[in-house]
Amino acid sequence: MYTCRWWTEKTVAIVTGANKGIGFAIVEKLAELGVMVVLTCRNEMKGIEAVLCLAKRGLTVEFCKLDVTSHESISKFACWLHGRFGGLDILVNNAGVSFNEIDSNNVEKAELVIRTNFYGQKMLIQELLPLFRRSVATKSRILNISSQLGLQNKVSNPALKNLQKEEEISEEKIDYMLNKFVEDVKKGTWKEAGWPKIWTDYSVSKQAVNAYSRFLSKQQKGQNLSINCFCPGFTKTAMTGGMGTHTAQEAAEVAVRVILLPPEELPTGKFFKWLSPSFFSML
């Protein structure tokens, strides 16, 4: 399956929210393939347990604590990473939260969802941008774990639709969209304002992830750093209460194929769906 093994045991990959679920499965798969993986999560005990669990299977990975909602935690992590490895090649932004049940929709924790799923990813990317090795031969990569729920067709408000479609999306426009959403939530007008109907706050956070990935891929073009998004599909994890059409391992299998695409086949600014690493669309 991996005809071009461009990576070595010195290739450094960081995975966030990796004590369980899809993140843990991605770490396991990357480690099996011989990548130097740093498993990160916000709870030290859970992280150490996860590392020990992999060690029992003969896999060596490093651990470092990282809470993506805390700027202090991100700074400490970047400092540790720089000291330990000097830089990184792969970042998998996997950490995420949702407080919706499969068949329910609430926005009570909208601000936390946006802060974790979008601003957490963004803050970490901003901090790590100077540390990517950007090898000409192998290219550095960011894979943002996103969702189809964040695709542009999920909003019915024409102004929001236009905003998301805009060629020249900017950080300010994304912030504007998110502030407007939080405002609508606070005013209690979010239902009639045309936001996504299912898992509303989560979907908005993933729309922001997709839009920012599109912005960043353009900003970084030609600088040996590719930025793509990946939707793992409906996966059996804690987030879905164990429901789903496939396991975290199956989702990770596809994610890792995207992460390790040969440099000459690696696109940037694309949205990958879980079924096949070659099935992607524009963000």
Ligand X SMILES: NC(=O)c1ccc[n+]([C@@H]2O[C@H](COP(=O)([O-])OP(=O)(O)OC[C@H]3O[C@@H](n4cnc5c(N)ncnc54)[C@H](OP(=O)(O)O)[C@@H]3O)[C@@H](O)[C@H]2O)c1
Our CA angle for 206, 202, 124, nearest 5°, is 50
Query: Please, what is the minimum distance in Å from the beta carbon of residue 145 to ligand X?
Result: 4
- Min CB(23)–ligand X separation in Å: 5
Cβ nearer to ligand X, comparing 52 with 159: 52
**Cβ(138)–Cβ(118) under 8 Å?**
no
Closer to ligand X by Cβ: residue 138 or 146: 146
202 flagged as catalytic: yes
In the complex, the residues that contact ligand X under the rule CB under 6 A are 16-17, 19-23, 41-43, 46, 67-69, 94-97, 116, 120, 145, 147, 231-232, 234-235, 237-240, 244, 248
Q: How far is the CB of 264 from ligand X (least distance, A)?
A: 28
Nearer to ligand X among residue 139 and residue 150 (C-beta): 150
Name the active-site residue from 2, 119, 176, 202: 202
Q: Which residue is at the shortest CB distance from ligand X?
A: 21
* Least gap, CB of 46 to ligand X (angstroms): 6
Rounded CA separation 272/280 (Å): 4
| Closest CB to ligand X among residues 41, 283 | 41
Q: Which is nearer to ligand X, 70 or 135 (CB)?
A: 70
Catalytic residue list: 202
